[in-house]
């Protein structure tokens, strides 16, 4: 078996299966994720690896990953060989972290880092990020149990091939102390537009999460800001907790947040129905007619349209299309979809990108067709 090459433009033209379908509680829960941090025994943690050892370990792990099934055709990207556009896209698709491949760094500064993922994008494995291996499983909607089973299955396959760094006292040893123990980070991505309109109610969600030992973060997890009313809720520490304990925390809290968001949506519709309909109609109009639009503005308008769709206020774009657009309006994907952009050495400047984004949205929301080949 060998890894398949990546067509950047083709990758940008579609989204992973977890975004192209709707799972349980899909009106509020976009997706759920389980990530397992593992390190290889006998090697220093990533922060202490020299370049030669990082490259050697990457090659050893690549050979092992050749035989691991990752849901569909398996793709492999080494960060040192990846153009800036591809690195951006992988971040935007939640396949790698921001720390895995900072676009500000030169490719020479990223030795021995890589990611393997299936073309359905429900399973991925980062190599030499903060830990030697980070196994990630993503499922649509609130299906945390399926994500956990998928991640666990890959973890067991790897454990049969690689000797992990494990302590009888502490459990799995990781680069960050907060991951020691199970090495598990479980998270759920939520769309909370109604709570976002009533800030005091959103603060109650943050407080409830903290009391349960969970953290609320932005669209791309730790260190990121909320965009388009999307938030991630995840566990903070793993030491002293079992995997089932950590999963159960989410099983308990997420339905409470989901019901809270639905109640606030219903209250807004009853009390401020005219204003809410106007807000959604304005967003649809601006998305279909604007000549320039920044990322944050586009995501905010798409969030409003998504809310209108779930409240049956507007028969606008499908949720699957809105999911696609939420990814494709971002920096890396726009570059890949622009004429010749996938092969360009430099990304579009801000003003060019804002114009192209607006034109891309106009076409997609008028025709709901593919976005390739646009010219503005």
Prediction pTM value: 0.90
Instruction: Work out the pLDDT band at 369, boundaries 50, 70, 90.
Output: very low
In the prediction, which pLDDT does 73 show?
83
Instruction: Work out the pLDDT band at 159, boundaries 50, 70, 90.
Output: very high
In the prediction, which pLDDT does 372 show?
40
For residue 371, pLDDT over 60 is answered with no
Judgement on whether residues 13 and 141 belong to the same structural domain of the protein? yes
d(CA 86, CA 5): 12
For residue 314, pLDDT over 80 is answered with no
Residue 54 structure tokens = 């990082």
Judgement on whether residues 282 and 351 belong to the same structural domain of the protein? yes
d(CA 31, CA 349): 32
From first CA to last CA, the distance across the chain in angstroms is 42
Number of domains in the chain: 2
In the prediction, which pLDDT does 82 show?
87
Pairing of strands 74-78, 214-217: unpaired
Cα-to-chain-centroid distance, residue 224: 12
In the prediction, which pLDDT does 163 show?
95
Judgement on whether residues 226 and 314 belong to the same structural domain of the protein? no
| Number of other CB atoms surrounding residue 243 within 10 Å | 18
Q: What is the mean pLDDT of residues 320-327?
A: 93
In the prediction, which pLDDT does 373 show?
38
Residue-averaged pLDDT of the chain: 88
Judgement on whether residues 195 and 278 belong to the same structural domain of the protein? no
In the prediction, which pLDDT does 221 show?
56
Under 8 Å CB-to-CB from 79, ≥6 apart: which residues? Answer: 87, 100, 101, 107, 110, 113, 114, 115
In a domain, 289, yes or no: yes
What phi and psi, each to the nearest 5 degrees, are found at residue 115?
-140, 140
Judgement on whether residues 32 and 154 belong to the same structural domain of the protein? yes
CATH number at residue 34: 3.30.590.10
Give yes or no for a contact between 90 and 55, defined as CB atoms under 8 angstroms apart.
no
Judgement on whether residues 236 and 215 belong to the same structural domain of the protein? yes
In the prediction, which pLDDT does 325 show?
96
Judgement on whether residues 282 and 256 belong to the same structural domain of the protein? no
3-state secondary structure of 311: coil
Q: What is the mean pLDDT of residues 138-142?
A: 95
pLDDT tens string 245-263: 999 999 999 999 999 999 9
pLDDT tens string 165-221: 999 999 999 999 989 999 999 999 999 999 999 888 888 888 888 888 888 887 655
Give yes or no for a contact between 99 and 89, defined as CB atoms under 8 angstroms apart.
no
Higher pLDDT, 69 or 254: 254
Q: What is the mean pLDDT of residues 29-51?
A: 95
Higher pLDDT, 73 or 332: 332
* Lowest mean pLDDT across 22-26, 27-31, 259-263, 359-363: 22-26
| Number of other CB atoms surrounding residue 183 within 10 Å | 26
Domain boundary among 246, 266, 286: 266
Judgement on whether residues 303 and 238 belong to the same structural domain of the protein? no
Instruction: Work out the pLDDT band at 41, boundaries 50, 70, 90.
Output: very high
Give yes or no for a contact between 307 and 265, defined as CB atoms under 8 angstroms apart.
yes
| Number of other CB atoms surrounding residue 71 within 10 Å | 18
Structural domain that includes position 282: 273-367
In the prediction, which pLDDT does 223 show?
52
What SS3 string covers 125-182? EEECCCCCEEEEEEEECCCHHHHHHHHHHHHHHHHCCCCECEECCCEECCCCHHHCEC
In the prediction, which pLDDT does 101 show?
72
Q: What is the mean pLDDT of residues 96-105?
A: 75
Under 8 Å CB-to-CB from 142, ≥6 apart: which residues? Answer: 23, 24, 25, 29, 32, 188, 254, 255, 258
Dihedral sign (CA 87, 104, 55, 34): negative
For residue 358, pLDDT over 50 is answered with yes
């Amino acid at each position: 078996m060998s890894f398949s090459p990546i067509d950047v433009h083709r990758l940008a033209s579609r989204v992973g299966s977890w975004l192209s379908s709707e799972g349980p509680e899909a009106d509020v829960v976009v997706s759920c994720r389980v990530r397992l941090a593992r390190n290889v025994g006998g090697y220093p943690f990533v922060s202490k690896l020299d370049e030669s050892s990082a490259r050697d370990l990457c090659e050893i792990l690549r050979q092992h990953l050749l035989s691991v099934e990752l849901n569909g055709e398996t793709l492999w990207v080494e960060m040192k060989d990846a153009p800036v556009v591809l690195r951006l896209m992988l971040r935007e698709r939640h396949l790698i972290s921001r720390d895995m491949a900072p676009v500000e760094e030169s490719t020479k500064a990223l030795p021995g880092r890589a990611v393997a993922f299936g073309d359905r994008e429900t399973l991925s494995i980062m190599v030499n990020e903060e830990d030697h291996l980070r196994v990630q499983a993503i499922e649509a909607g609130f299906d945390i149990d399926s994500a956990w089973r998928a991640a666990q299955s890959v973890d067991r396959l790897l454990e049969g091939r690689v000797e992990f760094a494990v302590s009888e006292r502490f459990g799995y040893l990781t680069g960050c102390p907060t991951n020691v123990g199970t090495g598990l980070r479980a998270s759920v991505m939520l769309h909370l537009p109604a709570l976002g309109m009533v800030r005091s109610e959103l603060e109650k969600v943050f407080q409830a999460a903290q009391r349960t030992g969970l953290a609320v973060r932005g669209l791309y997890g730790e260190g990121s800001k909320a965009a388009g009313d999307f938030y991630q809720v995840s566990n903070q520490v793993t030491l002293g907790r079992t995997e089932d304990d950590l999963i159960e925390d989410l099983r308990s809290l997420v339905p409470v947040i989901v019901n809270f968001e639905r109640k606030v949506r219903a209250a807004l519709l009853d009390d401020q129905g005219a204003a809410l309909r106007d807000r959604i109609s304005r967003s649809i109009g601006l998305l279909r007619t604007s000549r320039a639009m920044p990322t944050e503005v586009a995501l905010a308008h798409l969030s409003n349209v998504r809310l209108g769709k779930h409240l049956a206020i507007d028969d606008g774009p499908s949720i699957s299309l809105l999911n696609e657009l939420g990814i494709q309006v971002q920096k890396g994907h726009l570059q890949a979809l622009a004429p010749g952009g996938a092969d360009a050495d430099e990304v579009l400047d801000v003003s060019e990108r804002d114009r192209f984004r607006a034109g891309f949205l106009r076409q997609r929301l008028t025709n709901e067709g593919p976005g390739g080949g646009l010219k503005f």
